[in-house]
Amino acid sequence: MALSTISKILVPIDGSESSMRAANAAIELARRYNEEPSPVQVIALHVIDINPKFRLFSKYGFHYSEYEKEAQEAAQKGTAEWFPKIKEKAGRYNISVKSEVTDNSSASVVGEIVKFAEKEKVDLIVIGTRGQSEFEKLLIGSVTSGVSVYAPCSVMIVK
């Protein structure tokens, strides 16, 4: 894939500094390659982690429905903060940003990102890597690693 052929960029967002840096990088790439008649679109995707495997623990007193509800409420609160910031920055450069929220009820977070990228036929995934401690800064996160392996397109990892 030549960079000149980019029309859709997917950026998974979890609210971390790393994912917001990835969003900034995606906007910058879109700005550089945004040309009429085929402008570049950025898609900001948040995957709510409501792993259905936790349902197995209900017989031990774990209330999955409460967990799922809390996860969805936290996602609503988070995306209400993150997505407007991304759209506002993109708007300065006339970049189109579509925001999407899904959950991982049928796959892992990695699986949902990959499935979404396939469905939307994205050309590039721009994803952050995270790390808080000095040791973690040397490692790539499990979601980032999985996406880089299974993605149907090129992946750019942003530190």
pTM, two decimals, is: 0.85
Distance from the Cα of residue 84 to its chain's centroid: 15
Q: Where are the domains of the chain?
A: 3-158
Query: For the residues 46-71, what does the mean pLDDT come to?
Result: 72
Distance of alpha carbon 12 from alpha carbon 127, whole angstroms: 6
Alpha-carbon dihedral angle through residues 138, 15, 120, 71, given to the nearest 10 degrees? 110
Residue 30 has pLDDT above 70, yes or no: yes
Q: What is the mean pLDDT of the chain?
A: 85
DSSP string computed for 100-123: EEEE-SSS-HHHHHHHHHHHHT-S
Residue 148 has pLDDT above 80, yes or no: yes
Structural Rg of the chain based on CA atoms: 16
Per-residue pLDDT reduced to its tens digit, 80-131: 999 999 999 999 999 999 999 998 877 788 999 999 999 999 999 999 987 4
Q: Measure the CA angle with vertex 88, ends 112 and 35; round to 5°.
A: 80
Instruction: Write down the pLDDT at residue 56.
Output: 63
Sorted by sequence, the CB contacts under 8 Å of residue 88 that are 6+ apart come out as: none
pLDDT > 90 in the chain, percent: 53
Per-residue pLDDT reduced to its tens digit, 62-74: 666 777 788 888 8
CATH number for the domain formed by residue range(s) 3-158: 3.40.50.620
Distance of alpha carbon 45 from alpha carbon 57, whole angstroms: 29
Instruction: Write down the pLDDT at residue 131.
Output: 42
Q: Which of 57-66, 78-87, 144-153 has the lowest mean pLDDT?
A: 57-66
Instruction: Write down the pLDDT at residue 104.
Output: 83
With H, G, I as helix, E, B as strand and everything else as coil, classify residue 77. Answer: helix
Per-residue confidence band for 134, with pLDDT thresholds at 50, 70 and 90 = very low
Q: What secondary structure letter does DSSP report for 125?
A: E
Burial class (CB in 10 A: 0-12, 13-18, 19+), 124: buried
pLDDT > 70 in the chain, percent: 81
